[in-house]
Amino acid sequence: MKRDKMIYWISTGFIFLFEGLLPALTSHTELAVEGVRHLGYPDYFRILLTMFKVLGSLVLVIPSFKGRYKEWAYAGFAFTMISAAVSHAVIDGMQFQSIFPLFALTILIISYIFYQRI
C-alpha cells in the first residue's frame, strides 16, 4: 500500500508540475502565445486551457477532492493530451511536440491506476 501511494504521488506530482504549475507560470510568454497561434487556435483558448489545467491539477493534488471531481479532472487531462498530440501531429508532423503529450498521458494513466488502487 505504501508503494502504491508513493507511485501515485510521484506521478500525480509530475502531472501537477507539467500540466498545472508550468502553464500557470508560462502561458503569457511570447513562446506560448505563438505556439497556440501556430496551431490555429484563438488566444482566448490559451487562457481558458490554462485556467482549466490549473484547476484540474489542483483537484488532483488536494486530497479533499474525491470521486467524481478527480474522475473529471483525469478525463479532462486525457482529452487535452490526446488533442495536443493530434494537433501537433497534424500541423507539424510526428515530432517531439507530438510525442510529449503521449508521454504525459502515460504518466496520467499511471496516476489514475494508482489512484484507483488506493
- Which amino acid makes up residue 106? T
Asked whether the whole model's pTM tops 0.75, one would answer yes
The domain in which residue 106 lies consists of: 2-117
CA distance 38 to 88: 10
What is the per-residue pLDDT for 62? 93
Buried b (16+ CB within 10 A) or exposed e, 68-102: eebeebbebbeebbeebbebbbeeeeeeebbeebe
Closest CA to 59 of 83, 76, 80: 76
CA distance 16 to 13: 5
Distances 42 to 48, 59, 91 between C-alpha atoms, Å: 10, 26, 15
CB 20 within 8 Å of CB 53: yes
Residue scoring higher pLDDT (92 or 90): 90
Task: Please give the average per-residue pLDDT across 76-92, as a whole number.
Answer: 93
**Overall domain count for the chain:** 1
Chain segment 14-62, per-residue pLDDT in tens: 999 999 998 888 888 998 899 889 888 998 999 999 999 999 999 999 9
Task: Please give the average per-residue pLDDT across 64-70, as a whole number.
Answer: 91
- Give the mean pLDDT of the chain: 92
Q: Please tell me which of 23-37, 87-101, 102-116 the model is most confident about, judged by mean pLDDT.
A: 102-116
